[in-house]
Amino acid sequence: MKKLSYISFLVLLLSVSCTNDFEEINTNPNSPDVVTNVGLLLPNAIRSAVNRSYSSAYDRGGIVANLLASDFASNFSNWSRNDATGYFLWNYYDYIRDLNEVIEISEKQNLKNYKGVALVLRSWMFQSLTDIYGPIPFREAANAKLTGISSPAYETQEAVYAGLLADLAEANTLLGSGNETVTGDILYNGNTANWKKLANGLRLRLLMRQSKRVDPSVEMKKIVSDPTTYPIFTSNTDQAALQYLADITANESPFYRSGNGGTGTKVSKQLVDYLKTMNDKRLYVYALPTPASSEIDASGNRPDPSKFVYTGDLNGIGMFPNANITSPSGMLWMSIQYSPDLASSKGGQGIIMSYSEVQFILAEAAEKGYISGGSTAAENYYFNGIKDQFKYYASRIPANYATSYLKLTPASISADDSYFKQDAVAYTGTTDKKLEKIGLQKWISLYQVGFEAWSEWRRTGLPNIPIGPVGPGYIPRRMLYPADELRINVANYNKAVSSLGADDLKSHVWWDK
Amino acid sequence: MKPTSAKPIILMRYGLFAFGTLIATHASLLAGNDAKILSGNNKISDSNGKTEVAYRYGTLAVDIQGKVTDGKGQALPGVNIVVKETQKGTSTNASGEFLINVDSEKDVLVFSFIGYKTQSVVVGNRKEISVILEEDTNVLNEVVVTALGISREKKSLGYSTQQIKGDVINESPASNFVNNLSGKIAGVNISGAGGVGSSARIVIRGESSLSMQSQPLFIIDGVPVGNDGTNNSGSADYGNSASEINPADIESVNVLKGPAAAALYGSRAARGAIVITTKKGSNRKGVGVSFNSYLFGTKVGRLPKFQNQFGQGSNGQYEGSNFGASWSAYPNGNNDDYDESWGPRMDIGTMKAQFDSPTTNGFRGGDVAVNNRGDVIKTPWVSQPDNVRDFFTTGKKYYNNLAFSGGNEHGDYRLSLTSMNEKGVIPNNNLDRYQVNLNSSYRLTKRLTSSININYVKQTSDNRPDNGYGRNTFMYFFTWMGRNVNMNSLKRYWQPGLEGIRQFQYNYGENHNNPFFLQYEDTKGQSKDRVYGNIALEYAFNDHLKLKARVADDFYNDFRPMQWAVSSVDNESGRYEIVQIKNEERNADFLLSYNNTLRNGDFGYNISAGGNRFDNSGHNENVAAPQLLIPGVYSISNTGTALTGGSSKFQKRINSLYGTANLNYKDYVYLDLTARNDWSSTLPAGNNSYFYPSVGLNGNLKSIFGLPEFISQAQLRGSWAKVGNDTGPYALKNTYNYASPWGSNYALVGTGGLLNPNLKPEIISTYEFGAAVSFFSNRLGLDVTYYNALSKNQIISLPTVQSSGASSKQINAGEIRNKGLEAVLSFVPIRTADFKWNVTVNWSRNVGKLMSLTSEVDKIVQAAPGEDASIQARVGQKMGAIWGPGYQRVTADGPMKGQVIIFNDAYPRGTSEDIYLGNYHPDWIGGIYNQLTYKGLSLNFMFGGQFGGKFVSRFYNKAAGAGQLEESALGRGARAAGTEYDAPYYIPGAAQMADGSYQPNNTSSDGTYSTGVYGTNARYFIKKPLDHISEAQLFSSTYFKLRELSIGYALPSKWIANGKFIKNAKISVTGRNLFLITPKSNRHFDPEVTTSTDGGGLIPGFENMSTPSTKEMGISLNLNF
């Protein structure tokens, strides 16, 4: 027995001495578990979210809005249910997770500017998500590490919109009130005034979008009447557009190396026809000449740009007849595979919200009487929006385009009086006609801006998008939830679906009714 | 390329230098003791020895020392030696040596060792007795090495093990050792991905882990060697670490199948252990030399079957011009940007401008980056039936082993030098491996023995095999490559004048790499140095009590330079990346053991207690020049942009204490008890200590009941065991990852996997029953085992919804029950003096079932390496289930019920919910091994196969949809030339009419599919029924193959000077994988290599651009001097 107790003592001793350095051994030496410099969490969240918005505009948002055409995507076969990873914008929740941490840490450290920036970014992502899906995980979302909630509840779009408007109002108050300089801000380089403008721009976007359900007048008037408290964009120079870098692959414009050689996705016939009819020079930015009209002849020369033909393709017709006789999207969005010389790693910007969009919102608001000024003010906003578009795209033309076969210079992208005075553009006609013109210009301006053009079409029906013969026979009004939500978050999913009606492509979201 | 002849010299330099020091150290140990022991040997026994003995025992007893060897001069460890009619006994040590005390010259020593005939020796006046034991033909009476290196008679074990002798493995050494075990062991399933030295996945008794990590532990002479699932850098497979074990150094391999067998090896052996014993030196006169040389030729095995009627293009149209290079100065041709084979019919006398057609300026059509290429001159549009096969070459493998062995009564050594030089069937895929093994033991004093076993491995490769779905693999390329493409035309893979800058291709539009360019320019090299081995000291306090202490180490440095030439797809500006991996595993252990017998040797007992400290640490660094400044120069300094890179290090420790007791009554009953406690650094304080016991019982019915003579053996066994398991390091607390910077804005990002600070150890408990019976002097034997294993508290990453901000969370959950049956039948149909025929049949069947998961979910996706299908574990269902979208079928009653619905867009659709498609586990696996010898002539052959099981093929899906595979000629092949693409095609199925009723969609019956309800074009006719419908991509895994065949001839001694110089010589002809039979439905693939290497590990059940398997033929020469 003596021996046995000795052994058990030995085992006890060993078990203590065996494990006393375990905590040190099992501490991860490779990466930190605490972040104090909260700005480190911003660059990736901004870049990733903007990239995702940019990419899905190209193969989904732009196609369903009939700005782009694709034989592959226009029957919406790529809208079928999939797991969340890589599924439309659902990845935003990953970036919202990091922003939630920014907010949490900022609150602890009393960093008002950081919190404001994170609230604006997060609101933009939630807005994009709810516009696509309807009810979404909102207040409980993307917080598993902080709260332990791994099956977040869905909230109605109405609740989400109300929450976002409150968050943006809070952000407007917070921004600029902190003492700290915001680092890691790859969108505005720490300029909190610009973030305030984006916050108010997004509020206007949300207010207009829900205007069929909630009267936006009071809130809109409050914003517009007090530009000191509620500043908004003044031109494309302070709009929310991410300027890509050429330093490393991760910071290049998403299509630069994407391998899209211009054969799969084309510019839509509807867009090209509008631009051609109006003699709108944005055509030369939005589209490339057809390969057939611009190809090198036997003597090695390209034809003169005056011989170039621009033709859009029809969505929803199955296979494209001939890739050579339709226009790919413009060089700013084209890949190195299509043209190693002209493709630009930083030509296209990742636009979250443009000055023009704000102006078009205000135009519509004035025309509808949500804000004061009536039709006269509306006309002013309307022309501001259009004119800034030309200025913006002129400024995007890389210098080497002048000597390329495109012979494109900033001066090529201009609009003179005759443009503005033609019937299709001039701010004339009935109220409906005017609203239609605002809608059309807004639609054109939302080229490559996430899913915004589609959301606007759902809200206003502008422009009239034709339904192709090959496909489901309708234009989708929302997207299916990701497959893993049905599989894993089933109780919350079921609740969301019952408030929505059905989890299909036809159901209308709350503001679209 | 370097001349290979220089390599052996480099080897000698490296190897001998590295070992010079070690050998010298060991030799000086020998030399230093020489004076005392070697020269004064007899004196010690005569004078000192006696004195010492007399002091100890106080009698006139004498110590007898000696050594036991087998017929080949190999030392036999663990031989039982008893003094007849006394209680005295001992056993030989690792070098076969023993020391025993006798009272009288008349005493008789009885040497017994199962597998060998028992021998009795009268002591006489000798002080030293060396014995050669003769092998017993009794097959089932083997001795096996079990946990902690304890040799045991197999018939005394309460659990199932299966042993293979080294010479069986050595008949045709594979470049991955694990593949040599294929089909030889019941209950062991091996799958791989193809390519020289690529990884192999080995699973014993079925999948017991939800994380798909069911790999057993490899133990070489007591030293654990991990064999983690994968060892990838990028998409290149660098082979898992067990692949480097050298077959020539193996004495035997013993597979401990369940946790009962492995209870003493701890967590890592929870899913079985493969215990390898290496060859030892021998006590013999002079130096023994053996030389084994092998030369193999390798050919690619089964390739997918391609159609040879239609070439590249779209809608029947094709004419080359710039071959899809829209950036080129040359105009577009008619559909020349299409890579797939939906083009015009070939072999009907038409001419086309093709990528390899000459131009008016003497270039090739595809030289589209050349300024003055000129006009393309049309060439005949003909099929290239063997173009894929033409890519492959004849592989060669040279394998040479030279071993020296020797020794005397004090020590022995074996030095083995091995070279393996293999060139694969894939161009520029090679592996050179040089190995030195030194195995030596020495008796420092009568009671203290030291031993050393050191291996050095140098492994280099110019290019390791790539796997998976992506532009880096040639099989990916073959899914698209036009059927008109002449492979030989792609061999000059640069455009003239643009060497190093612009690759040459048949099609530029779809961004493929020229496969030769890929193999020769985008290489994934390797240079790896590895040393493993152990040093041990054993002290015998007396005949019964021993203490052994040992330190074992396994460390390697793996350098992997990876390059991408300028114009590589996805790396247009080239890229150079180096990966440096260092890993070290150290085990320090001790074992105190006491054995004795009671009551005249009727009761035997052996009690051991020991401890082990396991330390695993490592680090890896990678750095890349993402764009080359100067093309063709592969240096990190040669970068055109900011360098990228990363590093990580890890550390893990497990402390263990354990004990075991083996008790027996005569040879009637054997009882084994074990207990072990582990403390793992990877688990949280409070949960990091876990205890697990085992018990095993074996009854020898033959002895107990004195069964009739025709029954040679009859035993029953049973055991129960529990084994705990920990997890990887740093699995408790979340950290942030580094994101790539934005200019000078450096960045962090949160991690998706939510870690758990409260993890508990996993527990696997198993019980098994078995019986071994044999009849007619062991000419017929059967060994059957039933097992039942329950794996609980698994540490799993439970997928969570992305909207929670976490992609998964670590939890303890899940119960998996595996049940199975294993049988080994041995049969000796003929046994005469000259002619002997042995047959061994292995058969096994395993069924694993998920009993429970968590309250939150009832299923978990274990792996999804393909497109849509995944391996899912669902509660109440079998493990290994493949789920994915199936066809939407008619559910309404009627004649069309069950048929695939064709919707009004003319296509079928996949179900939105996954359906059950099949299980990747076979119903059973088996192998038949035949050994025939007639005098000096021997014939060995082994058949193996599996029945049942399914896999999903991505190659099939893509290549059929791209118009490449035979199936894609359906319909268009039956139409008249020139009209193939005119009229629509009607996919067979139930056309859904506007009123919801159904009609047959295809009404034609002449094979043209040209009439019906909803028609589509030729391409979608084939592609749409496959795309994203996993059900359509499913194949049976059933196969039957001739794994090995060898014919050997041992030269008669009169031919080799009567054995004076050469003791024996044998020449053999060997083949591996000579033929393969699969069901008719699978004409394309060898199911054995349908394992995906995408993502985290080797995933069975998914063909994902798998490198085809190979067949080998070779000759070998074995000489012993």
Q: Which of A141, A186, A248 sits opposite B644 (nearest CB)?
A: A248
| DSSP assignment letter at B47 | I
**DSSP string across B1054-1104:** GGGGGGSS--EEEEEEEEEEEEEE--TT--S--GGG-EE-STTS-EETEES
Q: For A48-185, where are the E strands, in sequence order? A: 68-70, 136-137, 154-155
Q: Which of A22, A29, A152 sits opposite B804 (nearest CB)?
A: A152
| DSSP assignment letter at B46 | I
**Could B750 and A337 be called an inter-chain contact, meaning their C-beta atoms sit closer than 8 Å?**
no
**DSSP string across A224-258:** HH-TTTS----STTSSEEEPP-SSSGGGS-TTTTS
Which residue on chain B is closest to A35 by alpha carbon? B736
Mutate to test the interface with A, among B681, B804, B907, B992 (most CBs of A within 10 A): B804
Q: Does residue B575 sit at the A interface (CB-CB below 8 Å)?
A: no
| Confidence at residue B45, expressed as pLDDT on a 0 to 100 scale | 35
Q: Please give, rounded to a whole number of angstroms, the shortest distance from the CA of A31 to a CA of chain B.
A: 6
| Confidence at residue A15, expressed as pLDDT on a 0 to 100 scale | 57
Residue B30's DSSP bridge partners are none
Nearest residue to B862 via CA among B308, B214, B375: B214
- Residue A95: Cβ-neighbour burial (10 angstroms; 0-12, 13-18, 19+): buried
Q: Please give, rounded to a whole number of angstroms, the shortest distance from the CA of A209 to a CA of chain B.
A: 24
Q: Does residue B333 sit at the A interface (CB-CB below 8 Å)?
A: no
With the CA atoms of B889, B892, B893 and B897 taken in that order, what torsion angle do they form, in degrees rounded to the nearest 10? -10
**Could A43 and B805 be called an inter-chain contact, meaning their C-beta atoms sit closer than 8 Å?**
no
Three-state secondary structure call for residue B210: coil
**Could A18 and B679 be called an inter-chain contact, meaning their C-beta atoms sit closer than 8 Å?**
yes
Chain A residues near residue B681 by CB distance under 8 angstroms = 19, 22, 25-26
Which residue on chain B is closest to A39 by alpha carbon? B747
**Could B649 and A29 be called an inter-chain contact, meaning their C-beta atoms sit closer than 8 Å?**
yes
Residue B935 identity = K
Give helix then strand counts, H and E, for chain A: 20, 6
Residues within 8 A of A (CB atoms), B 784-803 only: 799-803
Chain A residues near residue B729 by CB distance under 8 angstroms = 25-26, 28
Q: Which of B733, B743, B803 sits opposite A33 (nearest CB)?
A: B733
Mutate to test the interface with B, among A19, A154, A325, A505 (most CBs of B within 10 A): A19
Which residue on chain A is closest to B327 by alpha carbon? A339
Q: Please give, rounded to a whole number of angstroms, the shortest distance from the CA of B501 to a CA of chain A.
A: 14
Q: Please give, rounded to a whole number of angstroms, the shortest distance from the CA of A363 to a CA of chain B.
A: 36
Q: Which of A27, A251, A484 sits opposite B801 (nearest CB)?
A: A484
Which residue on chain B is closest to A25 by alpha carbon? B651
Q: Does residue B911 sit at the A interface (CB-CB below 8 Å)?
A: no
User: Are residues B885 and B868 in contact, defined by beta-carbon separation less than 8 angstroms?
Assistant: yes
**Could A94 and B752 be called an inter-chain contact, meaning their C-beta atoms sit closer than 8 Å?**
yes
| Confidence at residue B203, expressed as pLDDT on a 0 to 100 scale | 81
Q: Which of B685, B730, B857 sits opposite A19 (nearest CB)?
A: B685
Pairwise CA distance, residues A67 & A75, whole Å: 15
Q: Does residue B626 sit at the A interface (CB-CB below 8 Å)?
A: yes
Q: Which of B332, B649, B805 sits opposite A143 (nearest CB)?
A: B805
| Confidence at residue B7, expressed as pLDDT on a 0 to 100 scale | 44
Strands B1102-1103 and B1064-1077: unpaired
**Could B802 and A33 be called an inter-chain contact, meaning their C-beta atoms sit closer than 8 Å?**
no
**Could A151 and B743 be called an inter-chain contact, meaning their C-beta atoms sit closer than 8 Å?**
no
Q: Please give, rounded to a whole number of angstroms, the shortest distance from the CA of A21 to a CA of chain B.
A: 8
User: Are residues B297 and B469 in contact, defined by beta-carbon separation less than 8 angstroms?
Assistant: no
Under the banding of pLDDT at 50, 70 and 90, the label for residue A396 is very high
Q: Which of A137, A257, A295 sits opposite B803 (nearest CB)?
A: A137
Helices (H), ranges, B306-465: 387-391
Instruction: For residue A262, report the phi and psi dihedrals to the nearest 5 degrees.
Output: 85, 5
Chain B residues near residue A45 by CB distance under 8 angstroms = 749
**DSSP string across B134-176:** PBP--TT--EEE-GGG-EEEGGG-SS-EEEEEHHHHTTS--SS
Mutate to test the interface with A, among B803, B855, B860, B903 (most CBs of A within 10 A): B803
Q: Does residue B87 sit at the A interface (CB-CB below 8 Å)?
A: no
Chain A residues near residue B569 by CB distance under 8 angstroms = 259
Q: Please give, rounded to a whole number of angstroms, the shortest distance from the CA of B743 to a CA of chain A.
A: 7
Q: Does residue B749 sit at the A interface (CB-CB below 8 Å)?
A: yes
Pairwise CA distance, residues B534 & A163, whole Å: 66
Between A14 and B247, residue with greater pLDDT: B247
Mutate to test the interface with A, among B368, B375, B614, B801 (most CBs of A within 10 A): B801
Instruction: For residue B974, report the phi and psi dihedrals to the nearest 5 degrees.
Output: -90, -5
| Confidence at residue A17, expressed as pLDDT on a 0 to 100 scale | 62
User: Are residues B768 and B818 in contact, defined by beta-carbon separation less than 8 angstroms?
Assistant: no
Q: Does residue B743 sit at the A interface (CB-CB below 8 Å)?
A: yes
Residues in chain A: 513
Three-state secondary structure call for residue B320: coil
Q: Residues A436, A438, A441, CA angle at the centre, nearest 5°?
A: 105
Tally A–B CB contacts below 8 A: 233
- In our burial notation (b when 16+ CB lie closer than 10 A, e otherwise), range A377-401 reads bbbbbbbbbbbbbbbbbbebbeeeb
Q: Please give, rounded to a whole number of angstroms, the shortest distance from the CA of A418 to a CA of chain B.
A: 37
Measured over all CA atoms, what is the biggest interatomic distance in chain A, rounded to whole angstroms? Answer: 108
Chain A residues near residue B807 by CB distance under 8 angstroms = 85
| Confidence at residue A9, expressed as pLDDT on a 0 to 100 scale | 59
Give the side-chain half-sphere CA count within 13 A for B263: 27
What tens digit of pLDDT does each residue of A71-88 get? Answer: 778 888 778 787 777 678
Give the side-chain half-sphere CA count within 13 A for A172: 22
Q: Residues B687, B859, B1103, CA angle at the centre, nearest 5°?
A: 105
Low-confidence spans in chain B with pLDDT less than 70: 1-61, 72, 87, 94, 114-115, 136-143, 147-149, 192-194, 212-213, 226-230, 259-262, 283-285, 1056-1060, 1092-1097
Which residue on chain B is closest to A140 by alpha carbon? B804
| Confidence at residue B141, expressed as pLDDT on a 0 to 100 scale | 54
Q: How far is CA B830 from CA A158, B26, B773, B780, in A?
A: 86, 48, 19, 11
| Confidence at residue B59, expressed as pLDDT on a 0 to 100 scale | 46
Q: What residues contact A403, with CB distance under 8 A and at least 6 apart?
A: none
Q: Which of B649, B736, B742 sits opposite A35 (nearest CB)?
A: B736
